[in-house]
């Protein structure tokens, strides 16, 4: 009885703590005023009558259309009706997604006293040794979506992409792509062919990727030779929108870019942004992990936190191979680290300056991707990503902080052969028989293989993909090594501790809902000084089910939006949470603007899923 009362008191405390953070959760970066992105379902892609019907009588105007993604940017005449208009669009049977046109922000920190120092980052990633093998290739096209590029910078002009079908400065759209005189890229904000930088950030990023090397002036980029496509999506204020990002992605796809640098981010999830990146499967996207010293596993920053096979998320590291104090991190969601502090590069006007940020770390990885493609032009996106992530230098300070535990190494990436399956980490690292374990890695392939525990005991597989496997700890398993077997061989081994005591805390929320008016938020909290694992089962009335697990660090509190983070949208469902240790869980149901929040009653039950559940006792 005492334990149950203690749990209830702890939950009440958690309610109070929650309200200290709900404002921050709800008051994320505002979208562009009155603007909405709309994507239709596949079966109505070519049906203009249905699209017109969806927009009729809603007081909205179509601003832009992105044909490769079938996305419309529209504006409502009354910004105060934005939520109402979005909900009406979502209710239309032909609409797949309708969401605000969220903003994205630059991920660079400018010091009070800019430093003009040496390029320590290039030595740290072993670029001089790599240049003995490969210096780059003008045939490799890297798209830099940013504030534009100084088109007159003496260290960049030789490596700017030139549109082969456009005659420069003749006032004509020669290649009939919708832009006049877009010789070196586009300005998605104005719809013009002039991507000239008016901020400096994009010029700095471009120099890290590909400032001309060995030319007797200035600095060197990771590539001495490369083609830099300037895509201006962020203005002089330092902000841009998802709509402008989509326009840039579509332009880069049409022109054949292989790498897309994204040194920006924001904390609003966008289905349409995710779908646009996912469908651009022939490009590798490299995204900044963001600069708020947050755990992206808990508070995702987008686009870096999209879990996609063609995306790498980058943290910033120091000259001493520590994580930079401002860098975001995440064992599950941040891929790799690269130099991101006191980084000297090109700047406005035709100068050089040192900046800090995951914005600076990201182009080191994009530059390495281009260098690898110069050496291996036939590489697929999957091969390119694996080559970067599986040749890192493991760094003690990064252990457990990011997926690979490492910082990029250009020489190893050019010289080592990567093949077969590979495990980056498992989560959790211990559990009881029957508990769910997530294995993250690469080259698992789509054809299911096997996961073996010590003694060649095979684990039941609940889900299998090229980069992630869900298994259950099999009966008879003992503490020891886990490895993955595929048609291409056997992976490395990682250790897993099998515990022989069952989960002893179970909290059940039988009534949760997500629809156009309601969103269910789930809060988990760990009161202990050591990490704990919580296993979560979702069961929808539609029959959809999902099992997952989360790790709560010491005294950590996590807020999840069940639709965005777990994919349960437009349906009723239950949430069943279990752990071997005590934890707190709260379910809130809120309206879209968070003006009304309801606490949903929970039940406490046995770890035995077949045992009866009991309501809380106060």
Report yes or no: 28 and 267 within 8 Å, Cβ to Cβ: yes
Q: What is the DSSP letter of 286?
A: E
- Rg of the chain in Å (alpha carbons): 25
Report phi then psi at 23, rounded to 5. Answer: -65, -45
User: What SS3 state is found at 210?
Assistant: helix
Closest CA to 484 of 449, 455, 445, 446: 449
Alpha-carbon dihedral 248, 253, 255, 258, rounded to 10 degrees: 110
Interstrand relation of 259-262 and 284-288 (parallel, antiparallel or unpaired):
parallel
Residue 201 annotated to the active site: yes
Q: Which of 70, 146, 150, 155 is catalytic?
A: 146
Query: In which element (H, E) is residue 262 found?
Result: strand 259-262
**C-alpha to C-alpha distance for 440 and 224, rounded to whole angstroms:** 34
Residue among 575, 436, 565 at smallest CA distance from 506: 575
By DSSP bridging, strand 450-453 and strand 480-486 are antiparallel
Active-site hit among 153, 201, 204, 565: 201
- Residue 57, classified by CB atoms within 10 Å of its CB into exposed (0-12), middle (13-18) or buried (19+), is exposed
Q: Which of 345, 359, 366, 491 is catalytic?
A: 359
User: Among 193, 204, 190, which residue's Cα sits nearest to residue 162?
Assistant: 193
Q: How far is CA 344 from CA 75, 120, 206, 207, 228, in A?
A: 41, 9, 12, 9, 18
The span from the first CA to the last CA of the chain, in angstroms, equals: 10
* Pair 477, 459: CB distance under 8 Å: yes
Q: Are 345 and 315 in contact (CB under 8 A)?
A: no
Active site residue 529: no
**Nearest to 494, CA basis, from 508, 502, 483, 504:** 483
Q: Tell me, yes or no, if 463 is annotated catalytic.
A: no
Q: What secondary structure does DSSP assign to 553-612, as a single string?
A: -TT-EEEEEHHHHH---SEEEEEEEEESS--EEEEEEEETTSSSEEEEP-EEE-SSTTSP
Task: Please state whether beta strands 545-552 and 505-514 pair in parallel, antiparallel, or not at all (unpaired).
Answer: unpaired
Q: Which of 509, 270, 225 is nearest to 367 (CA)?
A: 225
Residue 442 CB-density burial (10 A; 0-12 exposed, 13-18 middle, 19+ buried): buried
Structure letter (DSSP) for residue 302: B
Alpha-carbon separation of residue 152 from 155, 198, 348, 349 (angstroms): 9, 12, 10, 8
Catalytic residues: 146, 201, 359
């Amino acid at each position: 009885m005492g334990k149950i009362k203690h749990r209830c008191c702890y939950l009440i405390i958690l309610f109070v703590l929650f309200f200290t953070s709900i404002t921050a959760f709800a008051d994320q970066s505002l979208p562009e005023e009155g603007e909405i992105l709309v994507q239709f379902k596949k079966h109505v892609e070519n049906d203009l009558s249905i699209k017109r019907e969806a927009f009729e009588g809603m007081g909205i105007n179509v601003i832009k259309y992105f044909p490769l993604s079938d996305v419309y940017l529209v504006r409502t005449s009354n910004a105060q009706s934005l939520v109402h208009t979005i909900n009406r669009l979502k209710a239309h049977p032909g609409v797949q997604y309708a969401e605000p046109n969220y903003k994205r922000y630059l991920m660079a920190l400018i010091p009070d006293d800019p430093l003009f120092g040496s390029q320590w980052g290039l030595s740290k990633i072993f670029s001089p040794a790599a240049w003995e093998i490969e210096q780059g290739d003008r045939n490799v096209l890297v798209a830099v979506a940013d504030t534009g590029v100084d088109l007159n910078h003496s260290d960049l002009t030789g490596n700017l992409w030139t549109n082969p079908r456009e005659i420069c400065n003749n006032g004509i759209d020669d290649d009939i792509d919708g832009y006049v005189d877009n010789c070196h890229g586009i300005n998605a904000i104005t719809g013009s062919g002039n991507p000239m930088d008016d901020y400096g950030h994009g010029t700095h990023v471009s120099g890290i990727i590909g400032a001309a090397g060995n030319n007797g002036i200035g600095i060197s980029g990771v590539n001495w030779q490369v083609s830099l496509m300037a895509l201006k999506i962020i203005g002089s204020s330092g902000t841009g929108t998802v709509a402008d990002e989509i326009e840039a992605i579509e332009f880069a796809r049409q022109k054949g870019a292989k790498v897309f640098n994204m040194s920006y981010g924001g904390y609003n999830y966008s289905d349409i942004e995710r779908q646009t990146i996912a469908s651009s499967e022939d490009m590798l996207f490299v995204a900044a992990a963001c600069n708020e010293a947050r755990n992206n596993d808990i508070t995702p920053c987008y686009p870096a936190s999209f879990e996609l096979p063609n995306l790498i998320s980058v943290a910033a590291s120091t000259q001493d191979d520590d994580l930079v104090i401002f860098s975001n991190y995440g064992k599950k969601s941040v891929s790799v680290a690269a130099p991101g502090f006191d980084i000297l590069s090109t700047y406005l006007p035709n100068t050089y300056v040192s900046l800090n940020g995951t914005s600076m770390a990201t182009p080191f990885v994009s530059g390495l991707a281009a260098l690898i493609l110069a050496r291996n032009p036939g590489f697929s996106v999957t091969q390119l990503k694996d080559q970067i992530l599986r040749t890192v230098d493991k760094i003690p300070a990064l252990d457990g902080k990011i997926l690979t535990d490492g910082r990029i190494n250009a020489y190893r990436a050019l010289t080592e052969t990567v093949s077969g399956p590979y495990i980056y980490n498992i989560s959790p690292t211990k559990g009881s028989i029957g508990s769910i374990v997530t294995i993250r890695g690469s080259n698992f392939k789509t054809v299911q293989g096997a996961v073996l525990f010590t003694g060649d005991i095979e684990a039941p597989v609940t889900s299998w993909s090229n980069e992630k496997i869900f298994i259950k700890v099999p009966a008879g398993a003992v503490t020891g090594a886990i490895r993955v077997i595929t048609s291409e061989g056997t992976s490395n081994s990682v250790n897993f501790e099998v515990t022989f005591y069952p989960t002893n805390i179970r909290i059940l929320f039988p009534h949760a809902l997500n629809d156009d008016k309601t969103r269910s938020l789930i809060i988990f909290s760990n009161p202990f000084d050591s990490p704990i694992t919580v296993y979560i089962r979702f069961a929808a009335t539609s029959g959809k089910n999902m099992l997952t697990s989360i790790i709560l660090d010491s005294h950590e509190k996590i807020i999840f939006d069940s639709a965005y983070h777990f994919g349960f949208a437009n349906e009723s469902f239950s949430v069943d949470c279990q752990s071997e240790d005590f934890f707190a869980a709260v379910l809130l149901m809120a309206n879209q603007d968070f003006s009304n929040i309801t606490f949903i009653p929970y039940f406490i039950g046995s770890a035995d899923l077949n045992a009866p559940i009991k309501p809380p006792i106060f």
